[in-house]
Structure 1
Amino acid sequence: MVTFGLASLGAAALAACSPVKLLNATIPSGGYRKTPDIAYGSDPRQALDVYVPTAAVARSETRPVVVFFYGGSWQNGDRGNYLFVAQALTSRGYVAVMPDYRTYPETAFPGFVDDAAAAVRWTRDHAHEFGGDPARLFVMGHSAGAHLAALIATDPRYLASQSMSKADLRGVIGLAGPYDFLPIKDRTLLDVFPASTRAESQPINFVTGHEPPMFLAAGTDDLVVDPGNTDRLAAVLRRHGDRVEVKHYDGVGHIRIVSALAATLRGHSTVLADVSEFIDSFAL
């Protein structure tokens, strides 16, 4: 179950001026270099920012690359609100790619998933320009963004349209994602996900046993996206022999699981440490 009326409110709460500005105001100003406003498509929403750690590495060394998709009920969001995520990833030595993507009503399913795949293709093609290793490419998302990450890692058509495959992904990180959310009761989301393609919107329907490793996390107090989405996808992945790690964070809600990545909140949760451990274990 996904309580999508609350999902929209949750995204709005994170993006509201005061909370997100407070989070981003606490971010250390050093330690990363930002290259903003790079187009990966022709639409104004098809743009991304790249964040690169400034810590010195050996001349021959390259870094894992993480493409992060934010949430927003597939209807809103702005990559500029997620500086705290980019800083968290660069603090662990990863190149962070932060795309925007088209949202409803500009597009409906599968338009935003097409954008996610295009952003990943751009990242693979250009990772080396930022000291990243295209062979160590991870996708990560929160809420609707986790849905995008999971769907391009399960339904092979999206990456195939970009001359890529699941094998090009080293791993997937999903925070509070909706992966098995039919039936839809929210009236707007009935338009976001047209009936003719609705079954194709569910990552759980495409698991074959050839998925990249996944780290799926949810908070036990999430009232926006039912943590059962995480458990059901994990069960199907395991049934097919895929590698999956599941983490439930006690007392953590829908927004807190991503805001825990912010520098001032990391001491209250192991989210960043757990994500980093997963990435490091599959980035070798």
Structure 2
Amino acid sequence: MSYRYKIILPWLALLLSFTSLFLSSWILISAPNMFLLPLGVGAPEVSPWLFISNLLSLLVAFLCIYKHQLKRVACIFSLIGLLICGSVLIKIAPTQMQMAKAMKQGLGENYLAQIPPQVSAKMQTHPFFLVNSFRGIPLGKIRHKTGIIFATPAGVHLNMEVYQPPEVGKYPALVVIYGGAWQSGNPGANPEFNQYMAARGYTVFAIDYRHAPKYRFPAQLHDVLTALNFIRQHAAEYEADPENMVILGRSSGAHLAMLAAYQPDAPPIRAVVSYYGPVNLTEGYNTPPRPDPINTRAVLKALIGGSPQELAQKYETASPINYVIRPLPPTLLVYGSRDHLVEARYGRQMYERLHNSGETAILLEIPWAEHAFDAVFNGVSNQLALYYTERFLAWAFFNR
């Protein structure tokens, strides 16, 4: 080995150890702004990759660094990174057990027996496959239609995308609403999830809505209800069962999903799924998270048009937790304990309100997960969430 490489290699090995530790540290660090939030979201989800990266950097440091001080520093970096990543991996099994318990408490000990065998056969067989973290989750063949305009309120063309099973038939309808702080996003979001569900035997409708601040609440809710009515009217065209419909949303989309499903005059909805959805906008404004990367108060003002002190009634109307006063569809709530946009405490509040009112409700909380954890479709958190979400959906669609 030349003298040049003897000089460069130790520093490259140190850089590798530092980089692996830096990326792993975001499993523990809370992102202070939106620019850094992807690191906080992604790091725990790719913890198997980071574990291997830290392991390799430890090996490289041990073999390639000859100076004692540099070797010690690099090895310490790598060992700390391994411990951080391992803190996620060792929690997978107990978290899965807690989720299984929550499902049985909410739906009954024998809820899986109510799912038809031909439906169960298409679902994931285990909550977490390590190999899927590296190769991805198999999706399956589907049919996909885009650019379907379902309404034009105030001259705004609202469209939807439809994901259908590969064979012609009549399938349960899953309506999916994207997130984006009510200000951004489109129906093309989360295509892997939509394709996955369509391949499992559902017609998936990914719908659009108008954005704040140009369009204030309740414009977004009106658009979702319009989409639901459009789907019911055109169900036969898209091979969907209008009497067998579930709504699923993420973040602001989950907020709209709950509001739409809980309306007194809502079309028949068999269940609603909320991935980290806001439920109490007044409390969200008054006690924003710390850190607050999205600037919660500014986002809520853009949606509602002012503060709760100025528009108290409008905030109450826009908060799903205030609708738990009559029979409601079964609700699945999925939150990350480390969410710094919509804190998990709101999921717990919603679950308690529903449970105490005698409603069917399930809360699945993932200890290491940040907001939008399922953006990494084959990530650790989404594998767990997907496993139980598809079982909840199958129970809701086929339980009679």
Q: Is the Cα–Cα contact under 8 Å of residues 31 and 91 in structure 1 kept in the other structure?
A: yes
1:49-198 matched pairs, under 5 angstroms = 49-54=161-166, 56=167, 62-156=170-264, 160=265, 164-165=266-267, 168-183=268-283, 184=285, 186-194=297-305, 195-196=310-311, 197-198=314-315
Structure 1 pair 268–172 and aligned structure 2 pair: CA distance change class (3 A): closer
Query: 3-state SS of the aligned residue for 1:204?
Result: helix
How many residues align structurally?
254
Q: Which has the larger radius of gyration?
A: 2
> Contact 1:10–1:224 at 8 Å: present in 2 too?
no
Q: CA, structure 1 residues 234+29, in 2 after alignment: closer, same or farther (shift >3 Å)?
A: closer
Match for residue 142 of structure 2 among 32, 39, 43: 32
Gaps of 5+ in 1: 15-25
* Aligned equivalents of 1:233, 1:140: Cα separation in 2: 16
- Which amino acid is the alignment partner of residue 177 of structure 1? G
Query: CA–CA distance in 1 between the matches of 2:217 and 2:224?
Result: 12
CA distance in 2, matches of 1:117, 1:9: 35
- Return the letter of the residue paired with 1:106: K
Instruction: Describe the shift of the 1:266–1:96 C-alpha distance in structure 2 as closer, same or farther (beyond 3 A).
Output: farther
- How far off its partner does 1:8 sit? 9.9
> Are 2:375 and 1:259 equivalent residues in the alignment?
yes
Aligned partners of 1:204, 1:267: CA distance in 2, in Å?
A: 25
* TM superposition shift of 1:106: 2.5
Matches of 2:35 and 2:170 in 1, distance apart?
38
Aligned counterparts of 1:192 and 1:274: Cα–Cα separation in 2: 32
TM-superposition CA deviations, 1:94-138 (whole Å, max 9, x none): 111011110012201111111111111111222222221111100
Tell which has more relative contact order, 1 or 2 (C-alpha 8 A, sep 6+): 1
2:255 maps to a residue whose letter is H
What is the percent sequence identity of the aligned residues?
26
Distance 2:394 2:139 in 1: 25
Root-mean-square deviation (Å) = 2.7
Q: CA-to-partner distance for each residue in 1:163-186, whole Å, 9 max, x for gaps? A: x44xx0000000011101314261
Question: After TM superposition, what 4+ stretches of structure 1 lie above 2 angstroms from structure 2?
Answer: 5-11, 26-30, 264-269
For 1:189 and 1:239, the matched residues in 2 are separated by 28
For the Cα contact (< 8 Å) 2:251–2:276, is it kept in 1? yes
* Secondary structure at 2:151 match in 1: coil
Amino acid at match of 1:68: V
Name the structure with the higher strand share: 1
User: Are residues 28 and 243 of structure 1, via their aligned partners in 2, closer, same or farther at CA, if it must alter by over 3 Å?
Assistant: closer
- Relative to the length of structure 1, the TM-score reads 0.81
Would you say the 8 A contact 2:140–2:195 is kept in 1?
A: no
Does residue 326 of structure 2 align to residue 201 of structure 1? Answer: no
Please name the residue that 2:383 is paired with.
Answer: 269
Which position in structure 2 is the counterpart of 1:48?
160
Q: CA deviation at 1:217?
A: 0.8
The whole-number CA distance in structure 1 between the counterparts of 2:269 and 2:316 is: 24
Q: TM-score, normalised by structure 2?
A: 0.58
Deviation (angstroms), 1:85: 2.3
Q: Which amino acid aligns with 2:366?
A: Y
